[in-house]
Structure 1
Amino acid sequence: MLSNQYLASNRGYTAEQKAKSYLEQHSLVFIEQNFKSKVSEIDLIMRDQEQLVFVEVKFRKNASHGSAAEQFTKSKRNKLEKAIYYYLLKNKLNAFHTSFRIDVVAIDAEKVNWIKNV
């Protein structure tokens, strides 16, 4: 029998792949997936022309516990920002001179909702 943790991570990976494919179909270029820092993880890093796009992917099988987009909380955003600054530092990119934004791809069952510049 598969553990709940395995099933959850598999669903997360599947949702991230779906989001990656969706964004690529909308002309974004894939850079990296699951960049880890001590504080958080960046699900997807993409490029939209000259701008880096840090993507948080949220998935909900059904709306019984709220929508996927509602799961992107202020606390999650703060952790994600710290991971982004770590990514920029690690890649020798100046946060003040590098164009970037944070997007959320919220997947509710099969419906994809791309929220830009949250």
Structure 2
Amino acid sequence: MAIVQWKATSTGAAAEQQAKAYLIDNGLRFIEQNYKANVGEIDLIFKDAQQWVFVEVKYRESDSHGFAAEMFSQSKRSKFVRAIMCYLQAHELNCHHTPMRIDLIAIDDKTLNWIKNV
């Protein structure tokens, strides 16, 4: 888990851009952003060596209504996994033989927290 200081922004799109830049700076290879399927959306898709990394980005300006990481609920995770399955199928990747993980970038105010393999 990595925690760094982050420049505050007011939009989710800006948070995604910050997360994308951070992951690229940490050696991941960018593949796609904002993949949409009927069942959900994947914010960022990367490769870490041969492993596919599907990233959800959550941003909270303050913790008055909870922390960003807490916003990746079980129902959101279920939709996210269904979107991953759609992505794999669309790209002719077998979900049983494709190395992959789900990472979460949680941004609380000015702190970026990268949680691997949630």
Common fold: TM-score over 0.5: yes
1:91 equivalent to 2:91? Answer: yes
- Between the aligned partners of 1:34 and 1:108, the Cα distance in structure 2 is 21
Equivalenced residues, count: 109
- Secondary structure of 2:93 counterpart: coil
Name 1:76's counterpart in structure 2: 76
Aligned to 2:41: 41
More helix by share: 1
> What letter is aligned with 2:52?
L
Match of 1:7 in 2: none
Partner Cα distance (2:22, 2:61) in 1: 18
Query: Aligned equivalents of 2:84 and 2:43: distance in 1?
Result: 11
Which whole-Å CA distance do the structure 2 matches of 1:110 and 1:25 have between them? 18
Q: CA RMSD in A?
A: 0.8
Residue in 2 that maps onto 1:6: none
TM-score, normalised by the number of residues in structure 1: 0.91
Deviation at 1:31, TM superposition (A): 0.3
Q: Any runs of at least 4 consecutive aligned residues in structure 1 with deviations exceeding 2 A, and if so which?
A: none
State the Cα deviation string for residues 21-75 of structure 1 (Å, max 9, x = none): 1111110010000000001100000111110000000000011111000000000
1:26 aligned residue: 26
The structure showing larger relative contact order (alpha-carbon pairs under 8 Å, at least 6 residues apart) is 2
Percent of pairs with identical residues: 56
- The answer as to 2:15 corresponding to 1:12 is no
Higher strand share: 2
TM-score, normalised via structure 2 length: 0.91
Where in structure 1 are there 5+ consecutive unaligned residues? 1-9
